[in-house]
Amino acid sequence: MRKPKKLLNNPIDVCREQLEGLIAACGGSLQKIDGISAVVRAGLRDEQVLVLTGGGSGHEPMFAGYVGDGLADAAALGDIFTSPAPNVIMDTVKSANRGKGALFIYGNYAGDNMNFDIAAELLEEEGIPTRTVRVNDDMASAPAHRMQDRRGVAGDMMVLKIAGAAGRHSRELDEVYRLAAKANDNTRTIGVALSPCSLPQTGEFNFDIPEDEFELGMGIHGEPGVRRQKMVPADQLVTELVDSLYGDLALATGDEICLLVNNLGASTYSELLIANRKVHQLLAERGIRIHDTLIGSYCTSQEMSGYSITFFKLDDELKSLYDAPCHSFAWRK
Amino acid sequence: MRKPKKLLNNPIDVCREQLEGLIAACGGSLQKIDGISAVVRAGLRDEQVLVLTGGGSGHEPMFAGYVGDGLADAAALGDIFTSPAPNVIMDTVKSANRGKGALFIYGNYAGDNMNFDIAAELLEEEGIPTRTVRVNDDMASAPAHRMQDRRGVAGDMMVLKIAGAAGRHSRELDEVYRLAAKANDNTRTIGVALSPCSLPQTGEFNFDIPEDEFELGMGIHGEPGVRRQKMVPADQLVTELVDSLYGDLALATGDEICLLVNNLGASTYSELLIANRKVHQLLAERGIRIHDTLIGSYCTSQEMSGYSITFFKLDDELKSLYDAPCHSFAWRK
| CA distances in angstroms from B34 to B40, B88, B128, B222, listed in the order given | 11, 11, 20, 32
List CB contacts (< 8 A) between B10 and chain A.
233
What is chain A's alpha carbon radius of gyration, rounded to the nearest angstrom? 19
Alpha-helix residue ranges (DSSP H) falling in chain A? 14-25, 86-96, 110-125, 156-169, 173-185, 234-248, 269-285, 316-322
Say whether residue A175 is in contact with chain B using an 8 A CB cutoff: no
Supply the CATH classification number for the domain A187-322. Answer: 3.30.1180.20
CB of B196 within 8 Å of a chain A CB? The answer is no
B252 near A CB under 8 A: no
- Taking an 8 Å cut-off on Cβ atoms, the answer to whether A268 and B6 are in contact is yes
Domain range summary for chain A, segments of one domain joined by +: 15-185, 187-322
With a CB cutoff of 8 Å and minimum separation 6, the contacts of A249 are A186, A188, A257, A311, A313
Whether residues B27 and A277 touch (CB distance < 8 A) is answered with no
Q: Touching check for A32 and chain B: CB below 8 Å?
A: no
- For residue A25, list chain B residues with Cβ-Cβ distance below 8 A: 273, 276, 293, 295
Facing A274 at nearest CB: one of B17, B58, B278: B17
Q: From CA A119, how far away is CA B158, in angstroms rounded?
A: 46
Q: Which residues of chain A have pLDDT under 50?
A: none
Q: So what CATH class is B17-185?
A: alpha beta
pLDDT of residue A2: 74
What does the pLDDT read at residue A206? 84
Interface contacts (A, B; CB < 8 Å): 188
pLDDT of residue B134: 98
Angle at A269 between CA A266 and CA A274, to 5 degrees: 120
Active site members of B: 59, 221
pLDDT of residue B203: 87
Query: Mind listing the pLDDT tens digit for each residue in B40-96?
Result: 999 999 999 999 999 999 999 999 999 999 999 999 999 999 999 999 999 999 999
Q: How many helices and strands in chain B, by DSSP H and E? A: 8, 14
A9–B235 C-beta distance less than 8 A: yes
Smallest Cβ–Cβ distance between A8 and the set B20, B234, B295 belongs to B234
Interface of B with A in 199-218 (CB under 8 A): 200, 211, 214
* Residues in B touching A234 (Cβ below 8 Å): 7-9
Alpha-carbon distance B168 to A193, whole Å?
43
Residue A133, amino acid: V
CB A188 within 8 A of CB A310: yes
| pLDDT (0 to 100) of residue B120 | 98
Give burial (CB, 10 Å; 0-12/13-18/19+) of A31: middle
All residues of chain A having their beta carbon less than 8 Å from the beta carbon of residue B2 are 2, 211
The answer to whether residue B303 neighbours chain A at the CB level (below 8 Å) is: yes
Closest to A82 in 3D by CA, of A58, A106, A48, A102: A58
Chain A contacts of B267, Cβ < 8 Å? 6-7, 303
Q: Would you call the peptide bond into B214 cis, given omega within 30 degrees of 0 as the criterion?
A: no
Q: Does B225 touch chain A (CB under 8 A)?
A: no
Taking the C-alpha atoms of residue B318 and residue B131, their distance in angstroms, rounded to an integer, is 19
The model's pLDDT over A263-310, given as tens digits with 9 standing for 90+, comes to: 999 999 999 999 999 999 999 999 999 999 999 999 999 999 999 999
Measured between CA atoms, the residue of chain B closest to residue A57 is: B270
**Going by DSSP bridges, is the β-strand pair A306-313/B30-32 parallel, antiparallel, or unpaired?**
unpaired
Rounded to whole angstroms, how far apart are CA atoms A49 and A104? 11
Tell whether ipTM is more than 0.95: yes
Distance CA B206, CA B199 (A): 7
Topology of the domain covering A15-185: Rossmann fold (3.40.50)
Using CA atoms, how far residue A86 sits from A91, A119, A120, A122, A192, in Å, is 9, 5, 9, 9, 32
Cβ–Cβ gap B277/A17 under 8 Å: yes
**Cβ contact, residue pair B273, A200, below 8 Å:** no
Mean pLDDT (10-residue bins), chain B, 333 residues: 88 97 97 98 96 98 98 98 98 97 98 98 98 98 97 98 96 97 98 94 88 95 94 98 98 98 98 98 98 98 97 98 98 96
- Which uninterrupted H or E stretch holds B156? helix B156-169
Average pLDDT, chain A: 97
Give the closest of B21, B273, B293 to A277, CB-based: B21
Q: Is A53 helix (H, G, I), strand (E, B) or coil?
A: strand
Residue of A nearest to B299 (CA): A269
CB nearest to B270's CB, from A200, A231, A293? A200
Instruction: With beta carbons under 8 A apart, name residues in chain B contacting A331.
Output: none
Domain B187-314 in CATH 3.30.1180.20: yes
Q: Does A300 touch chain B (CB under 8 A)?
A: yes
What DSSP string runs through A91-153?
HHHHHH--SS-EEEEEE--HHHHHHHHHHHHHHHHTT--EEEEEE--BTTSS-GGGGGGPPP-
Residue B301 at interface with chain A, using a CB cutoff of 8 Å = no
Distance of CA B294 to the CA centre of its chain: 13
DSSP E strand stretches across chain B: 30-32, 38-41, 50-57, 74-80, 102-107, 130-135, 187-193, 198-199, 204-205, 213-216, 227-230, 256-263, 289-296, 306-313
Is there a catalytic annotation at residue A221?
yes
User: Residues of A numbered 275-294 whose beta carbons fall under 8 angstroms of chain B's beta carbons: which are they?
Assistant: 275-278, 280, 290, 292-293
Can you tell me the distance from the alpha carbon of B6 to that of A271, in angstroms, rounded to the nearest whole number? 7
- Burial zone of B251 (CB within 10 Å; 0-12 exposed, 13-18 middle, 19+ buried): buried
In chain A, which residue's Cα lies nearest the Cα of B231?
Answer: A7
The whole-number pLDDT of residue A1 equals 59
Question: Which amino acid, residue B68?
Answer: G
Classified as helix, coil or strand, A24 is helix
> What residues have CB less than 8 Å from B104, skipping those under 6 apart?
B52, B53, B89, B116, B120, B130, B131, B132, B133
